[in-house]
Amino acid sequence: MFLPTAVQVGEDGETSGVPGDDVPDYQSGFPDVRDPLLVLSVFEGDLFPGAEPQSVYQLQTRAMQPVADAATGRPLRLEMRPGQTVTLPGGRGSVEFESIERWAGISTRYDPVKGVAMWSAILMLIGLLGSLVISRRRVFMRATGVEGEERSTVLLAGLAQREDVALGGLLEDLADDLRERWPGATIIDQTDSRTDRP
């Protein structure tokens, strides 16, 4: 267990800077490296019983035994500061806490299609708003010749998806435009059912 700023916890649960027993407990009082402490427990035995796979982040100790402290007989626990070296009992070697190296993990990602997806979504939203705001209209025109006369009768009609007060004006403008183009035609505007014969 690594503690960036080690603070000893007393038996009453309050923090104190003075050791209170033979095996003190610690917690980190600050995330920055102000008073680092590395606390290690030592085990020996079969690391992979039955060749079973295990996590690299957690030590499986069911087939291992804790190494005892030669002085107290209790399970050995190492408390090390940077630069310290501790010799393990029974000729098991030594453990050195050399230094602390700061590092940061940075993850980057580049997605060239993200811009296309964003503009596609914007265009879809604009189209949806347009379908809700812009009125859809249908205009029908039927032209029939008058028997025995050199003129025609043109019938105009309009249909809107919902109530549209501007539809009548649109048909009137279209009727006026047809009168200019066909002076001899009779234009019947379905909006007010009037007949205008030139």
Q: Rounded to two decimals, what is the model's pTM?
A: 0.47
Q: Are residues 89 and 164 in the same domain?
A: no
> Range of 187's domain?
137-196
106 inside domain: no
108 inside domain: no
Residue 25 host element (H or E): strand 25-28
Residues pairing with 133 in the sheet: none
* Last residue of one domain, picked from the residues 41, 73, 96: 96
- Domain total for the chain? 2
In this structure, the dihedral spanned by the alpha carbons of residues 26, 30, 34 and 35, taken in order and rounded to 10 degrees, is 0
151 inside domain: yes
Contact call for residues 38 and 4 (beta carbons, < 8 A): no
Mean pLDDT on 153-158: 82
Predicted local distance difference test score (pLDDT) of residue 22: 53
Q: Is the pLDDT of residue 154 over 50?
A: yes
Predicted local distance difference test score (pLDDT) of residue 97: 94
Q: Is the pLDDT of residue 85 over 90?
A: yes
**Count of C-beta atoms within a 10 Å radius of residue 178:** 17
47 inside domain: yes
Q: Are residues 92 and 166 in the same domain?
A: no
pLDDT band with cut points at 50, 70 and 90 for residue 190: low
**Most confidently modeled of 4-8, 168-172, 189-193?**
4-8
Q: Are residues 87 and 147 in the same domain?
A: no
Strands 6-9 and 25-28: antiparallel
Q: Which runs of E-coded beta strand occur in the chain? A: 2-3, 6-9, 15-16, 25-28, 37-41, 43-45, 64-66, 77-80, 85-87, 94-96, 137-145, 152-160, 186-189, 194-196
Predicted local distance difference test score (pLDDT) of residue 184: 66
Q: Is the pLDDT of residue 47 over 80?
A: yes
Longest Cα separation, the chain:
131
